[in-house]
Amino acid sequence: MGRWVLLAGLAFSLSCGSRTALLPGGSGGGAAGSGGGGGATPLAVKCAAALLDGAPTPMTGYCPTRANQAPGNAPASPRVAWSVTPFAVDPPENFLPAEIVVDPTGRAYVAIDASPMNPTGLPNQIFAIDPDGSVAWTSAFDGAVAGLSLGSDGTLWLVQEPPSQQDGGTAAAGIVMGLSPGGTVVTSLPLPEPPPNSDGLFYGVGFGALALASDGSFFLESTPQGYATGGLAHVSTTGVFLWQWPSPTLQQSVELVPPLIVGPADDVVASSNGDLLGFDVAGDQMWEENVEAQIAGVDGQGNVVALASGVSGENLALVSIDLLGVTVRTVALGAPQVNASQLALAGDGTTVLLLANEVASPGLTKSAVQIIAIDAAGHTRWTTPLDVSLQYDPATLTTHYGVFVDGAGTVVVTAGAISGIELASGSIRWTVQPPNAHACLRPAVLGAGGAILASQCDGTVFLARDP
């Protein structure tokens, strides 16, 4: 049940005119953009992780900070250019939502895993899709794969999860793998087996999330599965554990929920049922804050920014926590009806929130979505409402909403369709409908040349770009 639990944790068409003036840039400087806006990308914040330079989507969230800051520019008026179904997902309950990363050439790597509802546990696959929509290669894996990350040398890194240890049998904690651009396994690092308990059972960690550190080593996270315990680890490029929390000798169980967040100084932030925990580069726990965090990321200044509901669980607030665990800012958001949320942190200090309230109805699900931009001073710049209809999604609320900010000031929102919203004003500039109107839509990511890519519940992968 490991990755299913991970997913269950945390968790309009208008004509297009000229783009608004670019907002002032944030820290870290920007690289040249390639999207519809062209030119510089002043909102792009330099990512400290050892990710592939120039990759439009090197990993989920674009950086281990999970700030959802895309390094390049989104399109200005996109249309669907192609769609492909490399693997027909049928029935949808048998497979997990696709994970997509994109390299500088525009090749997309798409992972589709079997879900716990799948009686066979197979297939677990990665597809490489070229910029023209053709499938370049397919690789199959014995277990679910997660944490796709394009390393600085072009290696596609991932962690293959171990099978659920319901019987308490011997098992490795997973395998860190590196694939070449051609799909060949070039590195395989089986993680050490956990020590047995006095009763002979193995109570180790089965890792199901991966993020790259600044030196190319690996941070791993898991949640409990079977007899295993949840935890964090920092693993070297040769597979040696540099640190692990909690220590496996303590046989302590902790409940962690995604995402695994790594700051610019290789500090780590984890979420445990709403509590945020901060660890330094050596793996020592520095602080713990009970803020009932729904989702979090690290901004350009290294502060943790979290959407929190507080101990009472009634009112929402945007909370900023510094490297010492001190709450430096709280922005009250009232008590809106929310059952799904997403967050993006722009390089100019703006926080963009997606707050959704789904109401189940016969046939389509109705959702009232608010996109809210809060500036660096804590003031609401704008609120853009979206009333959307959603196709049935067999996974969770967190898998069919998405938001990221590109380097030039476009907020790309996925909520039933994909929309581009101006960060400066909140106005909707464009909307793209998915090619299959009868299958749910999953969050879009940035492609090369200013394109966007997304997947659907039936296994469709599609690309939209400027004509």
Q: Does any domain span residue 16?
A: no
**Confidence at residue 175, expressed as pLDDT on a 0 to 100 scale:** 92
* d(C-alpha 149, C-alpha 152), whole Å: 10
Give the integer Cα–Cα distance in Å for 118 and 131: 31
Q: Which domain holds residue 180?
A: 2-9+24-465
Give residue 14's pLDDT: 33
Count of Cβ atoms closer than 10 Å to residue 181 Cβ:
16
- For tokens 């315990």, the residue is 229
Tokens of 300: 């350009």
User: What residues have CB less than 8 Å from 246, skipping those under 6 apart?
Assistant: 229, 231, 252, 254
**How many structural domains comprise the chain?**
1
- Buried/exposed code over 373-412 (b: 16+ C-beta within 10 A; e: otherwise): bbebeeeebbebebebebbebbbebbbbbbbbbbbbbbbb
Please give the Cα distance from 458 to 279 (Å, whole number).
Answer: 39
Identity (one letter) of the amino acid at 257? V
The neighbour count for residue 438, using CB atoms within 10 Å, is 10
Rounded distance, CA 264 to CA 194, Å? 30
Q: Is residue 18 part of a domain?
A: no
CA distance between the termini of the chain: 43
DSSP letter string over 34-86?
A: -STT-SB-TTPPPP-S-BPTT-SBSBTTSSTT---B-SS---SS-EEEEEE-S
pLDDT of 268: 96
Structure tokens at 173: 């904690």
CB 162 within 8 Å of CB 177: no
pTM above 0.95, yes or no: no
* 344 contacts: CB under 8 Å, gap ≥ 6: 67, 68, 69, 297, 351, 352, 403, 404, 405, 411
Name the H helices within 196-342: none
Q: Say what the pLDDT of residue 363 is.
A: 65
CA angle 167, 173, 176 (to 5 degrees): 145
User: Contact at 8 Å (CB) between 158 and 208?
Assistant: no
Q: How far is Cα 265 from Cα 252, in angstroms, rounded to an integer?
A: 27
User: Counting beta carbons within 10 angstroms of the beta carbon of residue 120, is it exposed (0 to 12), middle (13 to 18) or buried (19 or more)?
Assistant: exposed
pLDDT computed for residue 167 by the predictor: 41
User: Position 322: which residue type?
Assistant: D
In a domain, 454, yes or no: yes
Tens-of-pLDDT digits for all 467 residues of the chain?
Answer: 333 333 333 333 333 333 333 333 333 333 333 334 344 467 778 899 999 999 999 999 999 999 999 999 999 999 999 999 999 998 888 899 999 999 999 999 999 998 888 888 899 999 999 999 999 999 999 889 999 999 999 999 999 987 654 344 445 678 999 999 999 999 999 987 655 554 544 455 578 899 999 999 999 998 655 445 678 999 999 999 999 998 877 666 677 888 899 999 999 999 987 799 999 999 999 999 988 888 999 998 899 999 998 655 568 999 999 989 999 999 999 988 898 999 999 999 999 999 999 887 666 788 999 999 999 999 999 999 999 989 888 888 889 999 999 999 999 999 999 999 999 999 999 999 999 999 999 999 999 999 999 999 999 999 999 99
DSSP 403-432: EEE-TTSEEEEEESSEEEEETTT--EEEEE
Question: Residue 317's domain is classified under what CATH number?
Answer: 2.130.10.10
Check if the beta carbon of residue 367 is closer than 8 Å to that of residue 320: no
Q: Do residues 276 and 259 make contact, with C-beta atoms less than 8 angstroms apart?
A: no
Do 406 and 446 contact (CB within 8 A), yes or no? Answer: yes
Name the token pair of 313.
Answer: 């669980």
Whether 332 is in a domain gets the answer yes
Tokens of 398: 């967190």
Q: Which residues pair with 374 in a beta bridge?
A: 351, 380
On whether residue 450 sits in a domain, the answer given is yes
Q: Indicate whether 238 belongs to any domain.
A: yes
> Does 390 reside within a domain?
yes
